[in-house]
Every structure is written in C-alpha cells, then in structure tokens.
C-alpha cells in the first residue's frame, strides 16, 4: 500500500479482503471532455472473462466491493471504479461534480479501459448512476444489476445545509466519525459488521484533496433526484437485489423497480440490510452470476 495518493492510514487495515483489494488498487489518467487535463481515475481490476463493472454508493469508494469483487472475479473480469468526485479518483478544480459529469467521466473510463458491453452493477447511489449511464449509453450495458438502489428515493438530503457559508459545516458534519458510525449501524441488519476495519474502509478517502468541495458540489447539484420518471425506459435485462431489512432506503422501492422495468427480476435477501454486497456477499455473488449466465 505504497501508492502516493493513499493516506497513511491505509496501512492500518486488518481484514484480509480489505488489504487484498487495496493491493490491487491503481490509478490511470483518463482523458475526458470535462477538462483539458486527464483525470487520474482509481480502479481495481481482477479476474478473466466477460466484463462486470461495479459502481459504489454515495461518499464511498472501491473498498465497498472488497467482499463481492473476489467472488465475481473467479468467473469474470471485474472492474471496480471510483466515480468522479468520490473515493480515490482525483477531484480536479476545473471539473463539475454533477450526475452529468459523473456519467461523462464513466463513459470515457469505460471506453479507455474496457471498450465492450458490460454487466453494470450499482449499489445505492451507484445504482442510480448505473441507470443514468445505461439510459444514455445503452450499447455499453448488456445487463444491469441494482443493489438496494437509489433512483425512486431521493439521495442524502444534506442539500438543505449547503447554503453559502454552511456547506463547509455540513461537509465537516458528514466527516465526523460518530456520524459515519451511525450511518454504518443503520446500513447493516447485523451490527457486528461495523468493525474498526469497516469504519476505516468507509473513511480512508476523506483525507484526499478536495473531498469536501466535491461532496458540497455534488449535493448542491441535486444528485439523482431527477431520475424516477425515466426508470421505465430501461431496456436491458435487470436484476434487482434487495435486503429485506434495509433501513436506509426501506423496502418499498424494490417492488417499484420490479414494476417499472420490463425485463427485470427481484431477489430478496433475508436478514440483510442496505449493503448485501458487504453483509451477504456469497448470496449476492451467486445471484449475480446466475443472472449473468
């Protein structure tokens, strides 16, 4: 873990899945029309075979898939990318941090690194980003997997605090360990998953340059709150995976996705919260692999 962009605290990771994923982490300069300079984009690539692309949730990173990615990589090439404005991807000062910019950056990342249709897997906010991407670039996405996805529900409602002079305070509030721990405890059905390693995984990216500015800018943009009336336009076969004890988004939206997307199937994961890829990774991986095949 000697990559120059990683915080020193990365050396304190203790769980094998966390350490292994960080050992595969790399960054590549991705040219985009968003800036005259290429954007240093963080990703983890594992496995051999047809491609799967993983997209993390709000204020998260590639570490969110530390338990799921190795299971999928036994059968496929799995790309796990930090979205623009999040994780360990660079946050250039001249780039907007909006859903449109995230989509553009992701397209050029896909075009540069992958270049063939993928199975697109999005978790929470990453699910909304995946839907937005699939609708705009349908030829790049052959199948869609939504893990307790945003899209119908509004994103994290901290925008009301993002008034001039208050954006800094709201972002710093979100940075506080106690606040992040409370969110983590809500995300899991089983609170024993909220370990020191898990809390470190969720916080490592907070010390990267311009984290605060990116969070403020994305939240002020309104996030993916525009998406709910476009979901029925999805044409790709879609798997909806949902924890039956989700306390972040609840459970009603799972059935909304199933009703809205023509070629979709819904899988409930019992005794599971908002993050099935972390709490029930084996069941989640088995469901995804069965769906792909």
One digit per residue, pLDDT tens: the chain, 293 residues? 468 889 999 999 999 999 999 999 999 999 999 999 999 999 999 999 999 999 999 999 999 999 999 999 999 999 999 999 999 999 999 999 999 999 999 999 999 999 999 999 999 999 999 999 999 999 999 999 999 999 997 654 444 433 444 577 788 888 999 999 999 999 999 999 999 999 999 999 999 999 999 999 999 899 999 999 999 999 999 999 999 999 999 999 999 999 999 999 999 999 999 999 999 999 999 999 999 99
Residue 228 Cα to chain centre, angstroms:
18
Looking at the domain assignment, is residue 264 inside a domain?
yes
Q: Where is 39: in which H helix or E strand?
A: strand 39-46
Q: Are 26 and 1 in contact (CB under 8 A)?
A: no
Q: Structural domain of residue 124, as residue ranges?
A: 8-292
**Distance in angstroms (rounded) separating the CA atoms of residues 123 and 127:** 5
165: CATH:
3.40.50.1820
Looking at the domain assignment, is residue 139 inside a domain?
yes
Task: Tell me the whole-structure pTM to 2 decimals.
Answer: 0.95
The number of distinct structural domains making up the chain is 1
For the chain, report the end-to-end CA distance as a whole number of angstroms.
35
Give pLDDT, residue 168. 75
Instruction: Please name every residue paired with 266 in a beta bridge, in sequence order, or none if there are none.
Output: 240
Looking at the domain assignment, is residue 186 inside a domain?
yes
* 3-class secondary structure, 7: coil
């Amino acid at each position: 873990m000697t990559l120059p962009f990683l915080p020193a605290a990365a050396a304190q990771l203790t769980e094998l899945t966390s350490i292994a994923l960080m050992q595969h982490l790399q960054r590549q300069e991705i040219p985009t029309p968003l800036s005259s300079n290429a954007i240093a984009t963080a990703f983890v690539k594992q496995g051999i075979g047809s491609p799967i692309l993983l997209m993390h949730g709000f204020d998260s990173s590639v570490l969110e898939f530390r338990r799921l990615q190795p299971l999928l990589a036994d059968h496929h090439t799995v790309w796990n990318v930090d979205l623009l404005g999040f994780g360990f991807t660079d946050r250039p000062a001249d780039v907007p941090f909006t859903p449109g910019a995230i989509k553009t950056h992701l397209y050029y990342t896909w075009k540069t690194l992958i270049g063939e249709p993928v199975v697109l897997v999005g978790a929470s906010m990453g699910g909304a980003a995946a839907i937005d991407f699939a609708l705009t670039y349908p030829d790049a996405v052959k199948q869609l997997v939504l893990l307790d996805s945003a899209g119908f529900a509004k994103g994290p409602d901290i925008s009301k605090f993002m008034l001039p002079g208050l954006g800094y305070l709201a972002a710093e509030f979100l940075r506080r360990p106690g606040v992040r721990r409370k969110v983590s405890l809500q995300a899991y059905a089983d609170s024993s998953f909220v370990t020191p390693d898990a809390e470190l995984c969720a916080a490592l990216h907070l010390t990267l340059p311009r984290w605060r500015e990116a969070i403020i800018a994305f939240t002020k943009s309104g996030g993916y709150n525009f998406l709910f009336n476009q979901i029925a336009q999805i044409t790709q076969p879609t798997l909806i995976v949902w924890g039956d004890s989700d306390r972040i988004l609840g459970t009603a939206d799972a059935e909304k996705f199933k009703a809205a997307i023509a070629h979709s199937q819904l899988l409930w994961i019992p005794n599971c919260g908002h993050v099935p890829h972390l709490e029930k990774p084996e069941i989640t991986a088995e469901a995804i692999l069965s769906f792909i095949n």
